A = this chain, B = another copy of it.
């Protein structure tokens, strides 16, 4: 792995574990047994590293979250979407924690964030319309855009929400609480489920409930 990529990966890991606010470029350099000077050879400052992490975030989303092609809509297809949601939330959780704060410090990043979110929203609209056409959801044409936007709000602020409601710092965001976020999106979507797709939604619910329960157990084991 190139030094540049090593720095990005280590920063992502440290930010997720301790919160971006608590990690300086010196911490990152020390973690990599690297001199601060060497780090500054690759990145001007922390904002510069955050922008590189954001590039990974963008490409993960663009690669994994897109309309489906001609294929049957079954629980496996939907599972892929929800797994993508979980993975993005988990892998970039520091970004979701205190999103407004990170964006307010970097106007360039704010513009990039807005562009990515517009793309997410437009794809999300498209997928909901596909699910309506394929008879999975029953939804008024006019409600598609606000539903897509509501789901984006819920997922964008789930991590912040869990953290403001708890005593805990970012390191304590558990996989279980992110699976809870996935279950919440399912709950809202299910209110639009066509009668013959209710069982599909119930199957997904059972699946993610199990994921949440088993992460809870492994989270507890880590604490021991």
Interface residues of A, Cβ cutoff 8 Å to B: 21, 97-101, 103-104, 110, 113-114, 117, 143, 146-147, 149-150, 153-154, 156-158, 160-161, 163-167, 183-184, 187-188, 191-192
Contacts and interface: CB of A to CB of B under 8 A. Distances in A.
A158 B150 contact: no
Given A150-B154, A156-B164, A164-B113, A188 B188 contact: yes
A114 B165 contact: yes
A156 B161 contact: yes
A209 to B, nearest CB: 12
Nearest to A169: B104
A191 B99 CA distance: 30
Contacts of A188: 150, 188, 191
Given A113-B164, A117-B164, A153-B158, 16 more contacts: A97-B100, A98-B100, A99-B160, A100-B100, A100-B160, A114-B166, A117-B165, A146-B184, A146-B187, A147-B187, A150-B188, A153-B154, A154-B154, A157-B160, A157-B161, A160-B160
